[in-house]
A and B are shown apart, each in its own frame.
Chain A
Amino acid sequence: MTSIIERPEAEAPATPKKGGGITGAAANYLDERTSISAVVKEFGRKIFPDHWSFMLGEVALYSFVVIILSGTFLTFFFQASMVETHYEGAFVPLKGVEMSAAMDSALHISFDVRGGLLVRQIHHWAALLFIASIGLHMLRVFFTGAFRKPRELNWMIGFVLFVLAMAEGFTGYSLPDDLLSGNGLRIIDGLIKGMPVIGTWTSFLLFGGEFPGTSIVGRLYTLHILLLPAILVAFLALHLVFVVVHKHTQFAGPGRTEKNVIGYPILPVYAAKAGGFFFLVFGVIALMASFFTINPIWNYGPYDPSPVSAGTQPDWYIGFADGALRLIPPGLEFVWLNHTWSFNIIIPVIALVLLLLFVFIYPFVEGWVTGDKREHHILDRPRNAPTRTAIGAAGVTFYAALWAAASSDLMATHFQLSIEGVIHVVQAWAVLGPFIAYFITKRVCIGLMKKDREIVLHGYESGRIVRLPGGEYIEVHEQLDDYERWKLVDYESFEPIMLRPNSRGKITPTMRLRSAMSNWFFEDRIAPASRTELEAAHGHGHADAVTSGTPARGQLEDPTGGNTHH
């Protein structure tokens, strides 16, 4: 995986010599046994580019570290057992109430261990931040095209991490065995039972018999603290290894090319900034945990299949799944071939699986449409890939509709609406919203590209109004400098594939589909301004360099004149 990196400015790490003091001696001791100097040489001055959006993934990583730290503390106190016990802890209103050992120990952590409630809340807030930051990080990667070759596999690894994070969240939420977590499990149980053929037995295998049984908390605990974290850490490590192998993407900018990466070195600048950022993320989580109560299980009481729990919501990241269950129109359950077909459950599950599957394979869809086999390390600005951005906006809108549906009852009660009305509006939103979002986004992107092109060719409005001798007022337009202009012109515009017979003189349906999709993707496009156009627009600059009247088409040269790698 490692290649030799030319690093013109790299300073050789201090060679440990005799007489280098205790640090030198220690370094020498270590290196003679571990070859650690090679690691420092390879990675010590590795360059990372700067952009605020690159920190979203960092937030995810750091909140995961906080989850591991706080979660480990909690394991020393939590008892994953559903043995019945009578609560005798410090929280008076529940004294004597029959509950499981799991709930009892969760209350013990909250009320009898100093700082225990703080750590519980740190754990829960960090988990919410973890999933939120993964989601935002994925959106960043999607909208900037960072998933393109060679990073398609890392996108899939990241997707797996997202799903694992949600699974971790749900299993963790279910552990305290309080009223709400039990109700959540009840919904999962009903969902599983609704699956054709395997549903009933899957539910009995999961719960060890009838719902709720006495096994589920212990089993979820094994998943939550052993199996899922082990897989998650493995995939996380793989994810980061690929970040190193691929080197980080960068936005277009002066001096930046597909063949370099410009930024600050790990030692010392990134060590300070990223290391410091870990503490800032942890600090924000600690602050939230100090001020804001989360999941007050003592208010809900132990699980009981009977009490009413109106207005309860799942943790936010499960909302889209819960919302899908609510949006399905009535009456979709049939008896056929002497079996019960619960399409009111099957359809939402399929919709969710398809949504996630589409996210999972999107890099390959786009790769197939463009046929682009080049490596991409310069990020797209979202506006410069209008169709992709519009697809993303449609996806976000659909997800948002499902998510909003999970709060349909609260919206109805808070805004004095009928529950039926809210559901019908959100149903319409889920079906029509993505199309509306698609068209609006695409038009906005193209409008922004036109604006960029206008600024490149004719400058930006300076706000300076000048009166000409004839009495006419004009606003002075200022030209961009070369560096700012470069940021606006360094992108590519794809032309749609023309449908032409292949070497055997045939047009296959696959070719038709590809051509149609290519047209759909790239029919509307704005090419970046060329030198000639710039020249024509403001008559200065690179006149001597102009050689052709049209934008270069697929014949771009290497400006650095070097860095070839044959």
Chain B
Amino acid sequence: MAHDEVSGIDSAASDSSAVETSHRTPAGTAVIGSDVENPGEPPHRARVTDLDPAKAKHADRTVYTLFYLSIAGSIFALAAYMAFPIEDGDPVALRLNTLFIGLGSALALFGIGLAAVHWGKALMVDKEGIDIRHPVRGTDETRARAVEIFDQADKESGFGRRTLIRNSLIGAIIAFPLPGLVLFRGLGPQNQDPVELLSHTMWKKGSRLTLDPSGIPVKASDITIGSVFHIIPEGLNEREDLLEQKAKAAVLLMRLDPSDLNISPEREGWSYDGIVAYSKICTHVGCPVALYEQQTHHLLCPCHQSTFDVVNEAKVIFGPAKRPLPQLPIEVDSEGYLVAQSDFHEPVGPSFWERS
């Protein structure tokens, strides 16, 4: 039988996960194997290349031809490197450069690979060999010797006996990496309060709403019903921390028929004649929510499909997000430009622990 390590245990013993004894290890639950006899290795079958010298000669030719083809592929790739310059910025040249260097290299690789495998399969002696397995565990003598060595080391050092030394060693080993770990505190900013930073954006009273990315201010009169604009705060493009600010301050501006909007009492006056501005940063994990369905007035996040209803103050109507998109209160200044009344009244973007 193949499964010759099965123990002599006759049936399932419920506590059969007992300690291993000697080299015989329990099979746990009862095992039913077949008592059909292993027929032993089948007789070796000669290959056509073993029997027919002409076929062997043919295989021989195939192998060296493939190796020569590989050399040809390498030369082809080298030639392609020189023959297809890309420096003039022509996209076709780039494509040809990539294609032909790649094809030459692939031919070089396939040549070697196919030749070696064919050589191994068709020409090398294909007599199978047998290795005998031994249990992975060390022999009893080895294990006894290992235990003896540890015992001896324990005696010679007094590791087990001198407990004060041992325990202080363990303590020291635990303590010494701590300063190193603390150094990694430096990965984060030292004099900033994350909660403070996450709670505010660039928007402040009187910031003009400008087009993303040009920074041109927009007038209320430019916004027609049904249109949508990508908005950034005035002065964003001059900021050193442009991306960090933009990641919080990006806004979508839409104009709807004022009678379509359901405005709650505390947000009266946050919009201007049907023009509403909402944070573009998804309240789920922060992707830009920028797919606006003009007919349904839904905003869809392309990342995880959270859907916000602009008619109802950007409440979530589908998807993993929970909170509505924060609304930016807007008004019109004396020149007719749209400006913010204030910053957002709550942190924008993904939720975080200290948010509320």
- Checking A205, A212, A281, A312 against B244 with a beta-carbon cut-off of 8 angstroms, the contacting residue is A212
- The B1-49 residues at the A interface (CB cut-off 8 A) are 1-17, 20, 23, 25-42
B110 contacts the other chain (Cβ, under 8 Å)?
Answer: yes
Q: Quick check: B2 and A559 within 8 Å, CB to CB?
A: yes
Chain A residue nearest to B4 in the complex (CB):
A558
Kindly identify, within residues 247 to 306 of chain A, every residue whose CB is under 8 Å from any CB belonging to chain B.
Answer: 247, 252, 254-265, 268-273, 275-283, 286-287, 289-291, 303-306
B253 CB to nearest A CB, Å:
13
Task: List residues of chain A with CB within 8 A of the CB of B321.
Answer: 330, 344
**B312 at the A/B interface (Cβ < 8 Å)?**
no
Count class of interface residues, chain B: 35 or more
B135 touches A330 (CB 8 A): no
| CB pair B14 A326 closer than 8 Å | no
Q: Which residues of B contact A233 (CB under 8 A)?
A: none
Given A259-B4, A290-B106, residue A565 in contact with residue B134 (CB < 8 A):
yes
Q: Are B354 and A200 interface neighbours, CB within 8 A?
A: yes
What is the CB-to-nearest-CB distance from B73 to chain A, in angstroms, rounded to a whole number?
9
**Which chain A residues border B12 with CB–CB below 8 Å?**
495-498
Give me 18 other A-B pairs in contact (C-beta within 8 A), A200-B353, A260-B133, A279-B116 excluded.
A121-B98, A190-B287, A210-B241, A210-B248, A252-B2, A255-B42, A262-B130, A273-B120, A306-B290, A344-B321, A373-B28, A419-B305, A495-B31, A499-B14, A531-B35, A534-B36, A542-B37, A551-B33
Instruction: State which residues 60-119 of A face B: CB under 8 Å.
Output: 90-92, 110-112, 114-115, 117-118
> Which single residue of chain B is at the shortest CB-CB distance from A82?
B243
Interface-forming stretch among B83-91, B144-152, B153-161? B83-91
Q: Map CB proximity to A onto B95-136 as digits: 1 under 8 Å, 0 otherwise.
A: 001110111011101101111111111001110111111111
> Of all chain B residues, which has the CB nearest A551?
B32
- Whether the pair B4, A305 counts as a contact (CB closer than 8 A) is no
- Are A340 and B126 neighbours in the complex by a CB distance under 8 Å? no
Inter-chain contacts of A210 with B (CB < 8 A)? 194, 197-198, 241, 244, 247-248
Residues of B within 8 A of A (CB): 1-17, 20, 23, 25-42, 81, 84-89, 94, 97-99, 101-103, 105-107, 109-110, 112-121, 124-126, 128-136, 184-185, 187-189, 192, 194-195, 197-198, 212-213, 230, 232, 241, 243-244, 246-248, 250, 280-282, 284-288, 290-291, 300, 302-305, 307, 316, 318-323, 349-356
Segment from A4-12, A134-142, A161-169, A391-399 that makes contact with B: A4-12
Report the Cα distance A106→B181, complex, angstroms.
Answer: 33
Q: Smallest distance from the beta carbon of A346 to chain B beta carbons, Å?
A: 10
Closest chain-A Cβ to B135's Cβ sits at a distance in Å of 6
Which secondary structure characterizes the binding site on chain B? Answer: loop
- The answer, yes or no, to whether A35 is at the interface (CB within 8 Å) is no
Residues of B within 8 A of A245 (CB): 136
Q: How far is the CA of A235 from the CA of B144 in the complex (A)?
A: 29
Residue of B41, B119, B285, B353 touching A339 (CB-CB under 8 A): B353
A154 to chain B, nearest CB (A): 11
The complex places the Cα of A255 from the Cα of B85 at a distance, in Å, of 60
**Cα distance, A187 to B31, chains bound together (Å):** 51
* Contact, CB under 8 Å: A495 / B320: no
The residue of chain B having its C-beta at the shortest distance from the C-beta of A197 within the complex is B353
Task: Tell me the complex Cα distance, A308–B230, Å.
Answer: 10
* A373 & B285 in contact (Cβ 8 Å cutoff): no
From A372, A482, A489, contact of B29 by CB (8 A): A372
A553 to chain B, nearest CB (A): 6
Query: A279 touching B355 by the CB < 8 A rule?
Result: no
Q: Are A511's CB and B8's CB within 8 A?
A: no
Nearest-Cβ distance from residue B324 to partner chain A, whole angstroms: 12
A326 to B318, CA, bound (A): 11
Q: What distance in Å separates the Cβ of A192 from its nearest Cβ neighbour in chain B?
A: 9
- What are the 5 closest A-B residue pairs judged by CB atoms, nearest first? A190-B285, A290-B102, A371-B28, A276-B116, A272-B120
CA of A121 to CA of B42, assembled, Å: 47
Flag if B349 contacts A190 (CB, 8 Å). yes
CA–CA, A150 to B41, complex, Å? 26
Q: Is the CB of A557 within 8 A of B353?
A: no
Contact A325 B27 (CB under 8 A): no
- A92–B30 alpha-carbon span in the complex (Å): 73
